[in-house]
Structure 1
């Protein structure tokens, strides 16, 4: 029997508490229907017996307080809600317990931005991690010693799991279920919950917002220049001269402030413009490619797929509001 302890944080997302409980209790039913013994002892654990969420709209009653859980096999940390710094602070008392259980052999999984609480334990230091794409910058600034896996749905390293944004935590739950049971049980669960079992990227859902949450004014000026002139052929020297900073210093400051090189940033601007065009216009792929400053079809396709996880045709077919010609 595997004990699954779902920690119920203050300031958490209700669905991210209920869904893993639903998944593992349903898995027990699937196993029993197949003539096997149930495998999971699922329990909700918390700092208090009752946790009120979303201003008291929801109330979760814990099966056990964390101090009553002396041994567990898996700790699930649900997604947090609201201001991440505050959400971590109100759950500080749980951190020693999470660390102790991991040191005693328990695996730990964070769902979406539950990664902020997981990283606060120190267990992710010098390790890889997935989280919601919209929180990459804040996470990098808060935990510079943790490597964000850009676009990844699932990350596993030495018994520590993390998942990408929002509902992609279902893919991590399926991944863990398959690891603890077998492929057939995981496939049955994926069909029951209508989840794509092998989805591995959240890149196609990501929205590039320019990464301007920093205080380097020269870099901000460069970002504005790139965003206003992305259709043109722009060199790093040109942008460095524009902001009157030496190229070497400019490249270092730009990467430090945005998390991207100048070229990566320019590519992301171009691809974001292409995505918006595919979603809302009737233009074909070549027209969009030329509009955003690419002349090489192969290069455009490769960069587009690298950033979004989809080819231009796949993205257009998935998100276009109108039918367009190839």
Structure 2
């Protein structure tokens, strides 16, 4: 069985995220056991002190282990912190940084919830990687960690075994994402229904589906991916990408498929449809206007690809996710 460390750092962390994380993973274990499987994780609160106080001292939580007692763990969850106390928080938790780095080097995956990203970024592990955090903390985060690629438009990011989430309840979308990845999709769906969470909320992020596909060593292909995601309104083709990056079409297709497990055409379609979904969720633009903004001119082709990827027509999707319709 794998080991899950739910971190209780020294300072004002979000009690709801700490307890909620344990609840959702314990539920996932129970669902797995009901299906005749062994639980995936042993779950423990891992802290910096014998006891941690929350809510102005009215509530306390006792960790099962001090972090120095954990020689090896498989998954670490860092809860949200109170951003107005970042300086003092990082000073108090300086000793945690080396432990997090060492656990990651030993193979642990690390997920930060909301403003917990500050602690993860302080390790340096997020340098030159994408991450998200609460939008109200974005300016402060960028000042402190200029080497990190902050993308607050995304609800979830994943890169090289490091996960981050945007603010508030989107943290639970990250937890569902982890359960889907580390258990299976049916277990994540049951957890979402039991806790009355929207498992598909991460689809609000234009490119979250593709974050994991950048976990490869081909920097040239990562540049092509970034270019596709930054130019959703253009009529992109494999030929135009090959010309732009001075690479042969055949070589581009081969390397792209090897790195991302998608063809360039599939990748372009998925990125464009995610951008279209965001427009349908948040604007009153017509279907044709959305179609043109993501670089399509053929209504039939746009609708066909949209349904293929989302399972809904553009009108059905808008009715489901845009409150103004």
Aligned residue pair count? 227
Q: Is 1:176 aligned with 2:178? A: yes
Per the alignment, residue 118 of structure 2 pairs with 116
Following the alignment from structure 2 to structure 1, what is the Cα–Cα distance between the partners of residues 205 and 183?
29
Following the alignment from structure 1 to structure 2, what is the Cα–Cα distance between the partners of residues 31 and 300?
42
1:115-194 superposed matches below 5 A: 115-194=117-196
1:150-299 superposed matches below 5 A: 150-200=152-202, 298=289
3-state DSSP of counterpart to 1:166: coil
What TM-score, normalized to structure 2? 0.63
Per the alignment, residue 33 of structure 2 pairs with 32
Following the alignment from structure 2 to structure 1, what is the Cα–Cα distance between the partners of residues 139 and 116?
15
1:79-94 superposed matches below 5 A: 79-83=80-84, 84-94=86-96
Following the alignment from structure 2 to structure 1, what is the Cα–Cα distance between the partners of residues 126 and 58?
33
Aligned alpha-carbon RMSD (Å): 2.8
1:57-72 superposed matches below 5 A: 57-72=58-73
Which protein has the larger Cα radius of gyration, Structure 1 or Structure 2?
A: 1
Q: CA deviation at 1:201?
A: 5.6
Q: Deviations over 1:30-59 (max 9, x none)?
A: 111112211210000011010112321221
Unaligned runs of 5+ in 1: 205-274, 279-284, 290-296, 304-309, 321-325
Q: Deviations over 1:42-78 (max 9, x none)?
A: 0000110101123212211000000100010001100
On the 8 A contact 2:134/2:152 being kept in 1, the answer is: no
Unaligned runs of 5+ in 2: 207-281, 295-313
On the 8 A contact 2:114/2:168 being kept in 1, the answer is: yes
Q: CA deviation at 1:180?
A: 1.1
Per the alignment, residue 19 of structure 2 pairs with 18
1:312-323 superposed matches below 5 A: 318=322
Q: Deviations over 1:234-274 (max 9, x none)?
A: xxxxxxxxxxxxxxxxxxxxxxxxxxxxxxxxxxxxxxxxx
Following the alignment from structure 1 to structure 2, what is the Cα–Cα distance between the partners of residues 11 and 146?
24
Following the alignment from structure 1 to structure 2, what is the Cα–Cα distance between the partners of residues 96 and 62?
20
3-state DSSP of counterpart to 1:162: strand
From the superposition, tell whether residues 201 and 151 of structure 1 become closer, same or farther in structure 2 (CA, over 3 Å). farther
Q: CA deviation at 1:91?
A: 1.7
On the 8 A contact 1:178/1:186 being kept in 2, the answer is: yes
Q: Is 1:5 aligned with 2:5? A: yes
From the superposition, tell whether residues 91 and 85 of structure 1 become closer, same or farther in structure 2 (CA, over 3 Å). same
On the 8 A contact 2:83/2:115 being kept in 1, the answer is: no
On the 8 A contact 2:32/2:187 being kept in 1, the answer is: yes
From the superposition, tell whether residues 101 and 177 of structure 1 become closer, same or farther in structure 2 (CA, over 3 Å). same
Per the alignment, residue 101 of structure 2 pairs with 99
Q: CA deviation at 1:203?
A: 7.1
Per the alignment, residue 308 of structure 2 pairs with none
Per the alignment, residue 41 of structure 1 pairs with 42
